[in-house]
Structures are given as C-alpha cells and as structure tokens.
Amino acid sequence: MSEDSPIFVRGYSRSGGTLMVTILDAHPEIAMSYELYPNLLAPEDGDNIDIREIIGILESSRNNKTGAKKISTKNLGTFIIRCSRGGLSNKDVARLLNEHLADGLDFSDVRGRMKFIERCCVEKMKKEGKSRWGLKCNNQYSDYVSIWPDAYFLNMIRDGRDVLASQLNTGSFNKNPAEIAKGWVSTLMRFREIKKNRNVHAYEVYYEKLVSSPEEEIKRICDYLNIPFNEAMLSFYKQDLTIYSRETDHLSMNRIRKPIDSSKVGRWEKDVNKKQLEEFYSVARDAMIKFGYLGEGDADRP
C-alpha cells in the first residue's frame, strides 16, 4: 500500500475513535494523527488567515502551546496544538506552511485545507519511516472522498447510552441528553450513507466487539485495510507513540495508556438517571434498535 490510500477514523465523541487511531498508529507501517479537522483551518467571520503571519509566530515560539496562544484565530490555534499529538513541532508546522504557500495553496477553500492536513500527516509518516498515513476525521466525507478516492474509512459505533454517560461525566461536552442523542444518530447515519457507495471503502467497528475480543476484531480491521496484523497493535500502550509525548494532552489519555479492557461497557446503568435516559430515547430509540442496542420488545420502555 502507498500513501495514496490514507485511513480515516470517525466516531461520535466518546465512541472509541482515539483508541482506534492509537491502535493503528502502533502498526509498523501506519502513521496516524489526531483530530486535524479541516474546519479548524477555515477563516472565521469572513476574515482571511494570514499564513505568513502564522509562520512568523510559530518560528519565534518555543512550543506548540505558546505559539497557539499568540494566534488570534482560536480554531487555528487549536489545530497547532493538535499537531503536537502527531509529533510535529512549531518549526515543522512553519516549514510545512511555507511549502504550502510555495505550491500556491492556502486555506481559502476546502481543498487547500485538506491538502495541508495531508502535509502534516505525511510529515509524521516520513519521520517514522512508515508507508501509510491516516488520522481521526470529521463528517465531511464527500470532501475526503473527492480528494482521496482510494481512502479507507472506519467508523466507531458504541452503545449510545454509554456515549451519553461518558459525555455527561467527561470534559466539556453538551450536557443535553437529547442533543447528544441527535449527534450520535447523525454521525452513524451519515456514515451509513457513504457506506452505500460501493466505490467507497467503508467499515464499521463496534466498540463492544473491539474491547471484548481485541485481537479477533483488530485482525478483521487489518484484513479490511489490506495490511498484515502486528502484535504491536495490541500492546500500543507500551509503544513510543507521538500521542504520549510530554507536550501533548488528550481527554482520552488515561484510557489509551492502558491495555484494552471492557470495563466501560454498560457504564450507563450506573451513570445515567431515568430522566436522562428517557430524553436520550426520545431521539435515538429507532437508531438504537437499528444498530442492535435495543430489541423491538424494549422499544416502549426506558
């Protein structure tokens, strides 16, 4: 395989996407990056992004966080910080921005933003001597497919009630159960739509299968990606991966520093109250049935 068939991992927040990316990053042929979303590079409020100004800031800053604080565009600052999760320094990003401009590209359109993301991911791939790149993507599937028609997509599916429990108790997510349900349903159904296209490589990974039978499920994923299974994927937490750098932080860091386990499956039973569950079901009940988390006989009770 070559760098022309990148691997994109998606999953509604708290569905195991970061775990999946980290497992893949441990493979000796694959270099994965984290949450480098194209919308973070888009101009905000109609303003153009002055890339040369950004380059100057990065070249004079000690690290990604100090550089990001000096950038007035909040989303772009977030992107810079996330570059460190892929092992890229400020100097690396500044150089890549210079190359982007030299090729006549900027961030004014989706293609320019996507191609810069590719630059960042390929840079990590080359640093690590690997042959294939990928990252955690967002829902802009048609844009990804138009630029990388040979890409491979993985979507993480997790019991929506456990996603609800995790978002309610972790980080600064929207705490409205109905809104969480809406996002969960939308993410899964949008992936099902691209999966209908026979020209698109699309594969669904159930979180519960991954954590209960990791070796078996990872081997299936490797078959789909046309790569050989490697034992390092199971011991990802022991590997020297860029996500573990002292300069990086991630909401899932505590989980991805440990072996795969199924301890969080069914957490909703103790972490979600009846009212929250009813609000979630009011939006997601049909999807919960479609994806196998509720039986038809459970449809009328929380």
Q: How many CB atoms lie within 10 A of CB 82?
A: 23
- Least-confidence region, from 5-14, 64-73, 154-163, 287-296: 64-73
Structure tokens at 274: 């009846």
Structure tokens at 120: 């960042």
The burial class, CB within 10 Å (0-12 / 13-18 / 19+), for 129 is exposed
Q: For residue range 44-64, list pLDDT tens digits in order.
A: 776 677 889 889 989 888 776
| φ/ψ of residue 30, rounded to 5 | -120, 135
Band (pLDDT 50/70/90 cuts) for residue 77 is confident
C-alpha distances out from residue 88 to 25, 210, 218, Å? 15, 29, 27
Question: Regarding predicted confidence, which is higher, 253 or 56?
Answer: 56
CA distance 160 to 219: 25
Q: What's the pLDDT at 245?
A: 81
State the chain's mean pLDDT as an integer.
Answer: 91
Alpha-carbon dihedral 234, 157, 267, 231, rounded to 10 degrees: 0
Q: What's the pLDDT at 118?
A: 97
| 88 SS3 class | coil
Q: What's the pLDDT at 201?
A: 97
Structure tokens at 145: 């497919």
The share of the chain scoring above pLDDT 90, in percent, equals 77
| Residue 298 confidence (pLDDT) above 60 | yes
One-letter amino acid at 71 equals: I
Q: What's the pLDDT at 169?
A: 87
Residue range 264-288: mean pLDDT, rounded = 96
The share of the chain scoring above pLDDT 70, in percent, equals 94
| Residue 281 confidence (pLDDT) above 60 | yes
CA distance 208 to 202: 19
One-letter amino acid at 293 equals: Y
Q: What's the pLDDT at 117?
A: 97
| Residue 2 confidence (pLDDT) above 60 | no
Q: What's the pLDDT at 295?
A: 83
Q: What's the pLDDT at 1?
A: 41
| Residue 68 confidence (pLDDT) above 80 | no
| Residue 123 confidence (pLDDT) above 70 | yes
Residue range 127-151: mean pLDDT, rounded = 95
Q: What's the pLDDT at 247?
A: 67
Contact (CB, 8 A) for 291 and 208: no
- Least-confidence region, from 3-12, 252-261, 293-302: 293-302
Q: What's the pLDDT at 250?
A: 79
